A and B are shown apart, each in its own frame.
Chain A
């Protein structure tokens, strides 16, 4: 992998921020976009902007073809059986809400259980809280080890026949933990529960095979994997999606409409009411082309190397606490003793280094870690070793600055 040539594909990276070269390490929040994705979207708006699945005019046909080609790229990228199983959404949050309200609400009852982990993003937590309140189901949590991993023996014990839904993030957005979702799915299925996987932080960084992991539902976002914001995916096994009643109704999702009732289009359109984010879907297709061209295994290996380097450099700094397991996906969460994460983030920003500070939409996890918030540096394959060195240097300087400032 030629890092210099890859970086040239991302125009945003070539700029100064606060008088320093930009070091963008907030990729878990959103990734940057290569020119190919940007140009694909510009091309749609400049040359064939039209609504899909409606008119029979030429531009409408081109737009529909490109839009559906992108769906096929997504299907192949996560190895779904059929394009009918790929539902376009606004992003992971909407995908997970669709599962909770479109599937869970009608099927959960008093005493049923939903099992999630303490490391879930609010998007894979609050929908289940709400659905539990509405149905009388109980929301329970798998126990988590001190290093932020799950112990499969404890997972086995936690899943009983009362559990109807198990929902787990494949990669923690705070700790970088990679959860054994395939093994958890097998345990869930042995008890008749369905397995939901939040793939927001895994899909951009590793090969995803929904059939191999045997997920019943899988959710992810385009913008974290080089695509635009506002487009994401809900994957569901066809039989489950067929059984779901649409929670949004209106244009595009119908078969036939009378004065008093209507019937639904077939999958996937049944679950896609209204004019979709056409440019977004086509842009996500271009993002997948880019990722596949680099190769997901290459990306994963390179990021492992970067993350290992970051972990080593940061753990050598006195007064820096790292959170999460040693084996992790491409991010490090940390704190500097006596300096609040926001102050760390402002200091690093003044050196051009963009990191995230806060609770990372995972407040229950923060209480497990016994801190209010952390600083998170998250990487993607366009980050360089030099940028990791700049981060470590910036952290040392931040420590020194706040140590001397009084």
Chain B
């Protein structure tokens, strides 16, 4: 097997989300908010749409272009946050960010497939790829309700 260590980063579940992305698209409607985020150092682009009702994200979609890490992370993020309350999502994005940086993190909440991205912590240059979609979610939540979201 070539690139032995590389398997720890590019796990098959990650490549599966990359090649078969879940929840691609955009949401439009009264309760929807859509934001764009770029990673200017590499050109990755992500768009995330949230549909929020009663303080809960009832639907989420994304689109964008970029590497396997940024795009699979976005796909996994949509599965992880759909149906969660806004404050649970804040906690989840925080935990995810801590995980990919290799910090201690609380695992009470279920990151789902996104757990597979923990290997990114061994590749510091790729942490920004992994967190892009999650930062976009935070940005969308801020836009939806600027007062309640932590900065």
Chain A positions within 8 Å of B, measured between CB atoms, are 18, 339-343, 346-347, 350-351, 357-359, 363, 366, 372-373, 397-398, 400-402, 405-406
Contacts and interface: CB of A to CB of B under 8 A. Distances in A.
B12 A405 contact: yes
Nearest to B42: A358
A346 B42 contact: no
B3 A341 contact: no
Interface string B62-106: 000111110000000000000000000000000000000000000
Contact of B43 (A346, A373, A406): A373
A363 B5 CA distance: 32
A340 B3 contact: no
Contacts of A398: 3
Contacts of B5: 18, 350
A350 B129 CA distance: 17
Contact of B3 (A350, A363, A372): A350
Most A C-beta atoms less than 10 A away, residue of B6, B12, B44, B45: B6
Interface string B6-39: 1101101001100100000000000000000000
20 contacts: A342-B42, A342-B69, A342-B126, A342-B129, A343-B10, A346-B9, A350-B5, A350-B6, A351-B3, A372-B45, A372-B65, A372-B66, A397-B2, A397-B3, A398-B3, A400-B2, A401-B10, A402-B10, A405-B7, A405-B12
Contacts of B6: 346-347, 350, 401
Given A346-B6, A359-B42, 9 more contacts: A341-B67, A342-B44, A346-B123, A347-B6, A350-B6, A401-B6, A401-B10, A405-B7, A405-B15
State the 9 A-B residue pairs at the shortest beta-carbon distance, nearest first.
A342-B67, A340-B67, A359-B43, A358-B42, A373-B43, A397-B2, A405-B15, A406-B15, A343-B68
A368 to B, nearest CB: 14
Nearest to B126: A346
B151 interface: no
A91 B17 CA distance: 43
A342 B128 CA distance: 12
Contacts, number: 62
Contacts of B44: 342, 372
Contacts of A340: 66-68
A398 B65 CA distance: 20
A343 B2 contact: no
Contacts of A351: 3
Nearest to A348: B3
A78 B75 CA distance: 53
A349 B136 CA distance: 28
Nearest to B4: A350
A154 to B, nearest CB: 28
Contacts of B45: 372
Contacts of A373: 42-43
A373 B68 CA distance: 14
A52 B112 CA distance: 62
B15 to A, nearest CB: 5
A339 B3 CA distance: 15
A398 B3 CA distance: 8
Contacts of A363: 43
